[in-house]
Amino acid sequence: MKRPSRRNQIIIVLFAALLVVVDFVFGPYIQFPVFFVLPVMLAAWYCGAMLAVGLALALGLARFLCHWYWSFPMDFMPAIVNNVLRVIALLMVGYGTAFVSKTIRDLRKRVSVLEQQLPVCKDCGLIQTANGEWVPVESLEVKSEYAHTSCPHCQDKRYGSIN
Ligand SMILES: [Zn+2]
């Protein structure tokens, strides 16, 4: 994994600190049902952003109706603000998860295509690098599935040296 830049670390920590300040300013009235993120993440991961958005809106509304049913002592405006913040947070989780899911699927496809183009010795599993060198591979999966050629050493062993 690429080493995270110091600048990004500082920005993220400052963002967290800003959230603490915002949380303090709003007082004890901001409420977020943590477990609502799970179905939104699952929807985004397996079904894409559309279902995640729908769930984010539906869950936000459901929570709003719960407050109304509980007759929870909260004024109308803070309740609306809470609901909007809940939906925004769930939408961010949904879009983020959908983005990561799509990126991983695209990368897997790309790796699969590249693996199929990789020259792998069908006998010993050595892989030919771009400069023609044959090197060992750690992944046995690659060896068994994509092997379609032989390195010079194994050609000599199998068919005998021409020289
Ligand atoms: Zn070989």
How many Å lie between the centroid of ligand 1 and the Cα of residue 119?
11
How many Å lie between the centroid of ligand 1 and the Cα of residue 110?
25
How many Å lie between the centroid of ligand 1 and the Cα of residue 121?
5
C-alpha closest to that of 149 among 124, 126, 120, 129? 120
The C-alpha atoms of residue 128 and residue 126 are separated, in whole angstroms, by: 7
Among 9-13, 122-126, 144-148, name the one with the lowest average pLDDT: 144-148
Instruction: Give the model confidence (pLDDT) of 8-42 as tens digits.
Output: 888 888 988 887 787 777 666 667 788 889 999 99
Q: Which residues fall within 8 angstroms of residue 124, CB to CB, at 6 or more apart?
A: 151, 153, 154
How many Å lie between the centroid of ligand 1 and the Cα of residue 162?
16
Q: Is the pTM of this model over 0.75?
A: no
Give me the residues paired with residue 149 across strands. Answer: 121
The C-alpha atoms of residue 39 and residue 132 are separated, in whole angstroms, by: 49
- Is pLDDT at 140 greater than 50 in this prediction? no
- Is pLDDT at 62 greater than 90 in this prediction? no
